[in-house]
Structure 1
Amino acid sequence: MDTPHQPTDRVTRRGLLVGGLLASGVATLAASARAQDHSGHSVAPAEPAPTSAYDAPPPHLGAHGNMTTVGEVDFEANGFDPSALLTDWDVGTPSIENGRTVRTFEIVAEDKEIEIAPGVMFPAWTYNGRVPGPTLRAKEGDRLRIVFRNFGSHPHSMHFHGIHSARMDGVPGAGLIGPGEEFVYEFDATPFGCHLYHCHALPLKRHMHKGMYGAFIIDPDPALHPEFDASARSRLLGTPENAQWQEMVMVMNAFDTNFDNENEFYAVNSIPNAYGNRPIRIEKSRPVRIYLVNVTEFDPINSFHLHANFFDYYDTGTQLTPTLKTVDLIMQCQAQRGILEFSYARHEPGMYMFHAHQSEFTELGWMGMFDVVEA
């Protein structure tokens, strides 16, 4: 008598990588069908190989031998575009109360299915319908007022990595609210630096992994740092000194699509290979500043490696002099963050890669390109 077949193999991220897959079976078949059909997302034509070893590769062949997902994510349906997220600063609604600036932010928690790779959907929990949530930005010393409404299906909160009272900590009894409820967080913007916020509901790993996090930047007030006036002004949004910089925020994250506590996709700003498929344009005459935040779940560290260049690193961004000078790789554990500053002024124009230096992360989507051009 035949015994019904009982599958025993467990799909893991390493098994997927070895097998050449980028998702579980159903999602992979769906992505493949869409790519072959051509009626959905477009597929880029194959690029010719360089004719000489000294030729620069075309953009798509520069992405680790075109080892990327096939097709395109529908950014319009998602409601956010990773290219736009790079410089989408939410400065709130400013007002003057008792002689000081108060910035009011409106944040909504909601459940939302997003496409993280062509044909691969993920049931996210979001802030303002996007992953990562909006990048909140303020000036040192401002009063911050964050009106948080929970339209999701689970209790949620906003825990800010900054200085505030216990009543504003975003934990049970101090800003953790149920579905349909509202809470107002209020505290001073201090210290200056590159920070983050995230949900602190339990189980914490699930709330973090499903998308409830975002960058939180506090610009230094030059008046409070006269000995570093030039550096402080270069970081203060809206100043002529800051306008000379090419600033962007990169939130390193990953997605466990089959919920086995191992990630199948790695990315910056949520979409694997987004900046390999659409390189980031950099003017070689202007310096670059990256606000880098790691929120990767299920892996102890993530990393950022810059090809053919070196950067100065400001750990947590709470200093105006570099923590490390002239490095090309930085590691961050979850919730660690910092500021990278570098320049391509002495480089020739062309495509320059950046990626995680865990090879598995790179090959599962955490890779991008800078398209360095003359101004």
Structure 2
Amino acid sequence: MRPWFKYPMTRRLLLRAGALIGGSSVIRLAVGQAPDTAQYAPTGGHESHDGMITVGEVDNARNGFDPHEILTDWERGTVSRLPDGQVLREFDITASDKEIEIAPGMFFPAWTYNGRVPGPTLRATEGDRIRIRFVNGGSHTHSMHFHGIHPARMDGVPGAGDVPPGGVFVYEFDAFPFGCHLYHCHSIPLKRHIHKGLYGAFIVDPDPDRHPEQAEAARSRLLGSSENARWQEFVLVMNGFDTNFDEENEIYAVNSIAHAYFKRPIPVDRARPLRLYLINVTEFDPVNSLHLHANFFDYYDHGTTLTPTLRMVDTIMQCQAQRGILEFSFSDHEPGFYMFHAHQSEFAELGWMSLFDVREA
């Protein structure tokens, strides 16, 4: 007997079918009825996005990580000084196989760094010596490839830092250039190792002493400085998950959990500026994007400059591994809930939809 349906049932086909029949139970197999979002808008004017938000809650405790903590969880390493006075930052990273819940009731067989996706956000200062002891506790060969400047033997590619299961490798290099970077596994097949979850943010703050002509701007990015303390900084890693391994993503998110920041909006102080470290590691789609509602931002492509590469834009597009820094303020806005999301509507419906909760201090 011939199958009644000619084409494979992909997530894109489900979305089209849902649109044709008015968003009925076919599409709600995945995304379901939205919670009451009237609570998010003091004026009661917020759109509910009925049928576009995942139903229920992810068990963050079982996952072992919370997407709200990932926003500001900077891993600074163990700090000491080398004999010549250079700052040394040492990190311990372990790769492991781990099932994670990416949407309520939807599980993904991930490969992780330190048990989370994305991996820990490593943060250093320009010129620091970075030393990472990498242990491969997973079932496949893995590595850590850093976007930045380093010796060839530290590149984290086959033949230069590729680590078999049970193996150990120490990566060591100086943190250059400053900016918003990332690291990821570079073992073969590359698309599988990245898509399965082996990636994380690598932020290098500028050293103000190296940039005397722009020292104030450099200090504002230097974690721990008084100038940096006035900023609200968040890291957002855009990712997707192919749950049935057909090379199409069924879930999209920032920091892995679908609609995490829509259900629990990110609280921000209206009086303090925001800085977002935005990184795209989405596999199987050529680009991802971020659109900010009711506001505009300055953008620093790759974060490697102290002056914006784009001014006054409200949407930015990134290919995989592209990243940048967004700076903006809500100081002239009324308190309320302000959206930010991918401006590929499909991505937003499947998990990449978020809110800032702008409040008075």
Superposed displacement of residue 97, structure 1: 1.2
User: Quick check: 1:71 aligned with 2:56?
Assistant: yes
In the alignment, the residues of structure 1 paired with residue 37 and residue 248 of structure 2 have an alpha-carbon distance, to the nearest angstrom, of 33
Number of equivalences: 354
SS at match of 1:322: coil
Superposed displacement of residue 16, structure 1: 2.4
Structure 2 match to 1:374: 360
Partner of residue 192 from structure 1, selected from 178, 185, 191: 178
Alignment CA distance shift 1:192-1:309 (3 Å): same
Alignment CA distance shift 1:317-1:178 (3 Å): same
In the alignment, the residues of structure 2 paired with residue 6 and residue 154 of structure 1 have an alpha-carbon distance, to the nearest angstrom, of 40
- Contact kept, 8 Å, 1:155 with 1:201, in 2: the verdict is yes
In the alignment, the residues of structure 2 paired with residue 321 and residue 5 of structure 1 have an alpha-carbon distance, to the nearest angstrom, of 59
Structure 1 match to 2:218: 232
Structure 1 match to 2:147: 161
- Contact kept, 8 Å, 2:219 with 2:228, in 1: the verdict is yes
Superposed displacement of residue 17, structure 1: 1.9
Query: Gaps (5+ residues) in structure 2?
Result: none
Structure 2 match to 1:37: none
- For residues 29-66 of structure 1, give each alpha carbon's deviation from its aligned partner in whole angstroms, at most 9, with x where no partner exists: 9x98xxxxxxxxxx996466999xx93436xx55x346
Query: Gaps (5+ residues) in structure 1?
Result: 33-42
Structure 1 match to 2:246: 260
Alignment CA distance shift 1:102-1:50 (3 Å): closer
Partner of residue 322 from structure 1, selected from 308, 322, 329: 308
In the alignment, the residues of structure 1 paired with residue 5 and residue 116 of structure 2 have an alpha-carbon distance, to the nearest angstrom, of 36
SS at match of 2:119: coil
SS at match of 1:134: strand
- Contact kept, 8 Å, 2:262 with 2:353, in 1: the verdict is yes
In the alignment, the residues of structure 1 paired with residue 16 and residue 354 of structure 2 have an alpha-carbon distance, to the nearest angstrom, of 22
TM-score normalised by length of structure 1: 0.89
In the alignment, the residues of structure 1 paired with residue 198 and residue 39 of structure 2 have an alpha-carbon distance, to the nearest angstrom, of 41
Structure 2 match to 1:276: 262
User: Quick check: 1:92 aligned with 2:77?
Assistant: yes
Structure 2 match to 1:344: 330
- For residues 57-113 of structure 1, give each alpha carbon's deviation from its aligned partner in whole angstroms, at most 9, with x where no partner exists: 36xx55x34620110000000001100000000000001111111000000000000
Partner of residue 104 from structure 2, selected from 99, 118, 127: 118
Structure 2 match to 1:214: 200
* Amino-acid identity (%): 67
Superposed displacement of residue 172, structure 1: 1.0
In the alignment, the residues of structure 2 paired with residue 121 and residue 203 of structure 1 have an alpha-carbon distance, to the nearest angstrom, of 22
Alignment CA distance shift 1:350-1:47 (3 Å): closer
Superposed displacement of residue 15, structure 1: 1.7
SS at match of 1:16: helix
Superposed displacement of residue 173, structure 1: 1.2
- Contact kept, 8 Å, 2:35 with 2:53, in 1: the verdict is no
TM-score normalised by length of structure 2: 0.93
- For residues 236-257 of structure 1, give each alpha carbon's deviation from its aligned partner in whole angstroms, at most 9, with x where no partner exists: 0000110000000000000001
User: Quick check: 1:57 aligned with 2:45?
Assistant: yes
In the alignment, the residues of structure 2 paired with residue 357 and residue 5 of structure 1 have an alpha-carbon distance, to the nearest angstrom, of 36
